[in-house]
Amino acid sequence: MSATNRVRLAAGIAGAALIATVAPPATAQQEQPQPSKITVAYKAWENNLTPFTLTMGGLPTSHDLTNLVYDTLFWSQVKEDPEPWLAERADPSPDRRSWTVKLRPDVKWHDGMPFTAEDVKFTFEKMKNTTGGRYSHHVWEYPVFESAEVIDPLNVKLNFRDAAPTFKILPGGDLPMVPKHIWEPIGNPVTSTSTPSIGTGPYKLVEFVNGQRYRLEANTEYFKGKPKVDQIDVPIVTDAAAAFAALQTGQVDTVDRTVPPELYDQLSNQPGIRVVQSTRMESVHLHFNNTKDPLKDPVLRKGITLAIDNQALVDTVLLGHGRPGRDGWTHPDSPWADPDGKHEFDVARANRQLDEANYRRGEDGIRRSPAGQPLQFNITVAANEPQHQRAAQLISQQVEAIGVKMTVEAIDPATLRQRRGNLNYDSFITNLESHAHADPDALSFFFHSPVPNAPSAGAFGAYANPQFDQLVDSARRQIDNGERKRLLVEAQRIFAREAPALVLFYPDGNYAFRPSAYNGWVADTGHGILTKRSFIPGYEDERADAVSAGDSQSSPPWAAIGVVLGLAVVGGGLFVASQNRKRETYEAEEA
């Protein structure tokens, strides 16, 4: 047999072997009444899932896994009156500067040690002394924590510098409790990625492979009941398309990302997959550099935002799966939102305002500021956020109608962070999640004028309006929620008038899963479906309403496909080999 034929035969054999190898594995998901294991595709690596280390590397994270491993005093921050969780109750002092928290008695850490008031005190103090980390600022500034006193193992008194009427929400509903006996000896917790992640939550972190996956196992002694799923495997799939492809093929049971608009219809209609709504109160917004000429002028900024058609953005970029943003910043579902808030879209009015304010058009149709600067700006977006890019492109086309030229600039996230910190931009687009909207102090946190030791408002545009400052400062000190809300609403109206930033839209939170693997998902407002409530008994009433009902699971005819393919490969190889043999009938014979 000639060398070529040998190669062909080898290929045929290899093909057959290949088919044997790819025969369906025995561990495919079967129909099970009581799932013992589910697989969740996760967006990004979050180190060893401790409240200190999960934001290292800075790429967007969702904290969902950390919230399964750790508990907070109350849950969750999105509600106006969060449910008691680790705490049974919290009673304020009359001036709301102190809170006495009574803890549940039956809580243990994953390593068996009891959860006590010492841990609470330690957590607050440690967070305050730690630079970096996502949770710290609700101990640093909103409110400013001062000291804690342990009254007895189940009672602790927390003292704040100013009135903290929303303590139960923040930090109560947000700050995870960490064990003193683990973290006390650690010097710098932000960088200690080898510290075991011990929490009180319904799931324990038992294994992780750097950058690749986590494995969580149920904490069978969880104080709210035994979790319904024994084990959660979490592979890290950074590519959205791969994650959803894996969902479709059954390689994963759910994806911890909102369903992309273009896949919504397809996934909803696919047998074996359900899609439910559960908002994370996510928002995407455009921030101006409020210190730079001519963007310093609120009239100009308002003019620009008047020309931005939020609804069109929702229709195009989100294919309708979202709500247009409002001018007052605060999320419409937030308890602090201005009930009359809306977005004003009026190109004619924009043109009029700009004309009246002396922004004359030049020969090229682009307006000039009174000082002569052409209105040409960059919209800077992160290169790994395609939605932001697309929105920016549409915006740049929309504002042409008022004689403003905005050019999209995509840069890598690290550079964007740096430029935001240095106020080295014209405008940029970024997004935030529920935490930022549920926070009653969000307006103050993001948009208070920069003062020493204030949060880096530069990172959000460095807006500086004394009247606005006064309102939000005053709101912080309010004990009465009603008065607080009134002040915040007024602040929102100033915000809407001056447009230091504009919320473009609130994407819907749609989550897809395979009901045959697990069907107990709860839509936990502000947190999607990968949340504690989905796994512990007692929340069945809140099970997410399915948008589609498709339970039957059709699996492809594995064996048939494998056999056909194998035959094709082998047969094809042999056929070609035979042809070759004929062709190679040696013309040498005729020589």
Q: Of 220-259, which residues contact another protein (CB under 8 A)?
A: 233, 235-246, 248-251
Question: Whole-number minimum distance, CB 237 to another protein, in Å?
Answer: 5
Q: 231 or 353: whose CB is closer to another protein?
A: 231
Q: 48 or 334: whose CB is closer to another protein?
A: 48
Which CA distances in Å does 89 have to 82, 84, 101, 117?
Answer: 11, 6, 6, 13
Name the one residue in this structure whose structure tokens are 């799932």: 35
Question: Whole-number minimum distance, CB 38 to another protein, in Å?
Answer: 11
Q: 47 or 76: whose CB is closer to another protein?
A: 47
Beta pairing partners, 380: 409, 428
Instruction: Say whether residue 4 binds another protein (CB under 8 A).
Output: yes
Q: 224 or 514: whose CB is closer to another protein?
A: 514
> Which residues, 424 to 453, sit near another protein by CB under 8 A?
445-446, 450, 453
Instruction: Say whether residue 408 binds another protein (CB under 8 A).
Output: yes
> Which residues, 545 to 564, sit near another protein by CB under 8 A?
555-556, 558, 561-562
Could you give the CA distance from residue 518 to residue 228 in angstroms, rounded to a whole number? 9
What angle (nearest 5°) sits at the alpha carbon of residue 406, between those of residues 402 and 408? 150
Task: Return the SS3 of 297.
Answer: coil
Q: 312 or 546: whose CB is closer to another protein?
A: 312
Instruction: Say whether residue 7 binds another protein (CB under 8 A).
Output: yes
For 422, the enclosing helix (H) or strand (E) is: none
CA torsion 417-420-424-426 (nearest 10°) is 120
Question: Whole-number minimum distance, CB 302 to another protein, in Å?
Answer: 25
Question: Whole-number minimum distance, CB 469 to another protein, in Å?
Answer: 17
Could you give the CA distance from residue 553 to residue 270 in angstroms, rounded to a whole number? 9
Q: Which of 30, 358, 373, 415 binds another protein (CB under 8 A)?
A: 415
Stretch that binds another protein, among 156-164, 221-229, 349-357, 402-410 (CB under 8 A): 402-410
Question: Whole-number minimum distance, CB 181 to another protein, in Å?
Answer: 21
Question: Whole-number minimum distance, CB 250 to another protein, in Å?
Answer: 8
HSE (side-chain half, CA atoms, 13 Å) at 18: 14
Could you give the CA distance from residue 514 to residue 252 in angstroms, rounded to a whole number? 8
Q: Are strands 98-103 and 155-160 parallel, antiparallel or unpaired?
A: antiparallel
Contact 183, 133 (CB under 8 A): no
Stretch that binds another protein, among 260-268, 291-299, 363-371, 472-480 (CB under 8 A): 260-268
Peptide bond into 76 cis (omega under 30): yes
Instruction: Say whether residue 190 binds another protein (CB under 8 A).
Output: yes
> Which residues, 151 to 180, sit near another protein by CB under 8 A?
none
Q: 447 or 535: whose CB is closer to another protein?
A: 447
Instruction: Say whether residue 365 binds another protein (CB under 8 A).
Output: no
Helices H, strands E: what count in the chain?
17, 21
Q: 3 or 371: whose CB is closer to another protein?
A: 3
> Which residues, 93 to 122, sit near another protein by CB under 8 A?
none
What DSSP assignment string belongs to 476-503?
Answer: HH-SSHHHHHHHHHHHHHHHHHH-SEEE
DSSP H helical ranges for 212-280: 240-249, 261-269
Q: Which of 59, 113, 366, 546 binds another protein (CB under 8 A)?
A: 59
Give the binding-site size for another protein (rule: CB under 8 A): 106
Instruction: Say whether residue 145 binds another protein (CB under 8 A).
Output: no
Q: Which of 15, 35, 42, 53 binds another protein (CB under 8 A)?
A: 53
Sign for the CA dihedral angle at 37, 42, 47, 50 comes to negative
Contact 48, 61 (CB under 8 A): no
Q: 135 or 521: whose CB is closer to another protein?
A: 135
Q: What are the respective helix, strand and coil percentages of the chain, to the nearest 5?
A: 35, 20, 45
Instruction: Say whether residue 370 binds another protein (CB under 8 A).
Output: no
The DSSP code for 153 is T
Instruction: Say whether residue 420 binds another protein (CB under 8 A).
Output: yes
Question: Whole-number minimum distance, CB 398 to another protein, in Å?
Answer: 11
> Which residues, 125 to 144, sit near another protein by CB under 8 A?
131-134, 136-137
Q: 7 or 574: whose CB is closer to another protein?
A: 7
Count of residues making up the chain: 591
Q: Which of 57, 362, 370, 571 binds another protein (CB under 8 A)?
A: 57
Question: Whole-number minimum distance, CB 94 to another protein, in Å?
Answer: 32
> Which residues, 307 to 346, sit near another protein by CB under 8 A?
316-317, 319
Question: Whole-number minimum distance, CB 178 to another protein, in Å?
Answer: 17
Q: 391 or 489: whose CB is closer to another protein?
A: 391
Q: 142 or 345: whose CB is closer to another protein?
A: 142
> Which residues, 192 to 211, sit near another protein by CB under 8 A?
192-194, 207, 209-211
Which CA distances in Å does 372 have to 296, 355, 403?
Answer: 15, 14, 14
Stretch that binds another protein, among 39-47, 64-72, 176-184, 298-306 (CB under 8 A): 39-47
Q: Closest Cα to residue 145, out of 98, 190, 86?
A: 98
Q: 30 or 555: whose CB is closer to another protein?
A: 555
Instruction: Say whether residue 472 binds another protein (CB under 8 A).
Output: no
What DSSP assignment string belongs to 498-555?
Answer: H-SEEEEEEE--EEEE-TTT----B--TTS-SSSGGGTSTT-GGGBPPBSS-------
Q: Closest Cα to residue 100, out of 178, 51, 164?
A: 164
Q: Which of 9, 113, 299, 411 binds another protein (CB under 8 A)?
A: 411
Instruction: Say whether residue 464 binds another protein (CB under 8 A).
Output: no
Is residue 505 classed exposed, middle or buried when 0-12, 13-18 and 19+ CB atoms within 10 A define those classes? Answer: buried
Instruction: Say whether residue 271 binds another protein (CB under 8 A).
Output: no
> Which residues, 473 to 532, sit near another protein by CB under 8 A?
none
Paired tokens of 353: 């305002």
